[in-house]
Structure formats: structure tokens, C-alpha cells
Amino acid sequence: MRRVASGRLECDVIAPADHRVIDTMLVPAGLADYSIVFAAGRMVLAYSASDPRAAALQLSGSFAPPASVPRVAGAWHEVLTAPGARIAGAHPFLDPGGYRSHMIFELAQSSLRVPGLYNALLQHYQVTPADPAPGAAAVLGRDFSFQFTYEHTAAAAAKRDASYRYAALPESIDLSSENEARYAGSRVSIPGLGTAGSPAWVTIPASRVAWGVTIASRSRHRDAALSFLASLLGPSGRDALAAHGPPPLVPARVARASARRLPAALRGLATAY
């Protein structure tokens, strides 16, 4: 989004893993007019069955997705903060998955009522390069033991790797609830767009994991972009999302304040909230 705002990247359709990025960064800068929320999910804790550090995790239930996904139990957070444990994730300034991990740290401290847990988890967090050199990507179970990730991403990884595992987190911290009041107080501040007139920093509140999509105001291929969004939000797109993730919202949603700015071709595919 920063590259789009600076003119270094031409873009027609923008679909970040957090719709609030559109609302807090692009819309105020006039780079987008609306944000359609088209999919939602939750964060899970990924680990490797062959990793001795993960063997210490207390879990409830068996791993047989999608029918059965175990849940973390007991003092699971102590395993993640044990000496030598490493939690990998993206840089919070570059990826919603990265700052959502930090939100989970904060929510875990509040939910579990463990003073200092946020800092303890943060000390075990290592940033994975956004674009690693060929063959240099960090590997779960070898270079790090745990990762907070999207469930559909974890489910796909488990199909490819027989040793890949993931566990559900408490709803109070997995960012899956539509009742976003339970996440109140958790927020992150990230650098803004870096363009003239835009704020240097933007604060994004913790909310349900939800994907957003919009058409860039500068789009030079608006008809094609509208056609793509109509497909994404229609039956074929919903079927593809249901099969591969993230799970679609049916119907998709658009904030009431910006619903009037929705293109006519999309108004029947999203409901105002």
C-alpha cells in the first residue's frame, strides 16, 4: 500500500488481510473510496509434530482437520516463553499477520492475567524476511518452533506436510469474534503511507480477522477490476474461497458510511453494516 501511495507500484485491485488497513490508510488519503469485507477467519498456533519443544504443549483434542482441531490447554504460554523457544512471524510494519501476532501477545496477557507476558512473548519473537533468498526461508520445527497464522493457511500447510500441526487458541485471543469489544484496548501503531499530507503513524485497533478488498482510485482498468470483484463476491468466488480459504462472508459487507460510494455493479453483492 505504501508503494501504491508513492506511485512506485501500479495497482487496480487491493485486497489486504486486514480490511482496516484500507479504512485507516487508503480511504483518508483519497486512494480508495470503500472497503468490502469479503472473508473472515481466525488465528491458530502452528508447530511441528517432530519438534521436541512443541511436544511440551498441553492440548485438548485430536488433530484430524477439518473435523477435529486440538485446543491449547493448561499453561501453553509457558512453552512459548521457555528458554530457547522461538516464535516466527512477519514484521508488524509490513504485514497484518505480523501485527496480529503482537495483538495476540497483548490479549493473552490480559486474558490469562499473567503480568509481563506480552514482553516475555515478544522477546521470543523473530521476524522472518519478507523476501528471503532462494533456499534461505526459515523452516518450522528447525529454525523456529511456533507461529501464529491464519487457519486456512495452516490447513493447507498440513495437507502438504505430514508433520505440520496447529491448535486452536481461546476465542478471547484468536481474533475470530464478531463481538470486537472483547478486543478493546489492544491496538498497534505502524508507519503511515509516507506521502505528503498523510499521518506519520496510523493506529489500527484489534478486530476480527477479516479480509478487505477495494479498487484503487487511480485504477486504469476499472472495468476489469469491477469484473474481478463481481466474480470474487459472486458464487464462483465464494466457492473458491470455501474450498481454499479464507472462508467467505455471505453476503460480503461494506461499512454503512461508505456504502453509497460502492459502484453500482457491486451493490447487490455486499450488504451495509
Percent of the chain at pLDDT > 70 equals 100
Residue 131 confidence (pLDDT) above 90: no
- Record the pTM: 0.94
**pLDDT over 90 (residue 50):** yes
- Of the candidates 105, 99, 112, the one whose C-alpha atom is nearest the C-alpha of residue 80 is 105
pLDDT at 137: 85
Query: In angstroms, rounded to a whole number, what is the distance separating the alpha carbons of residues 222 and 33?
Result: 13
pLDDT, position 227 = 97
Band the pLDDT of 213: cuts 50, 70, 90: very high
How many Å apart are CA 88 and CA 55, to the nearest integer?
18
Q: What are the strands of the beta sheet with 146-150, ordered from one edge?
A: 59-60, 71-72, 164-168, 43-48, 146-150, 87-89, 125-127
For the stretch 155-189, pLDDT in tens is 999 999 999 999 999 999 999 999 888 898 899 99
51-76: average pLDDT: 95
Q: Is the distance from CB of 180 to CB of 174 less than 8 angstroms?
A: no
pLDDT of res. 114: 96
Q: What pLDDT was estimated at residue 133? A: 77
Strand 248-254 to 13-14 pairing: unpaired
Q: Which domains does the chain have, with CATH numbers?
A: 2-40+179-219+233-272 (3.40.190.10), 43-168 (3.40.190.10)
Q: Is the pLDDT of residue 136 over 80?
A: no
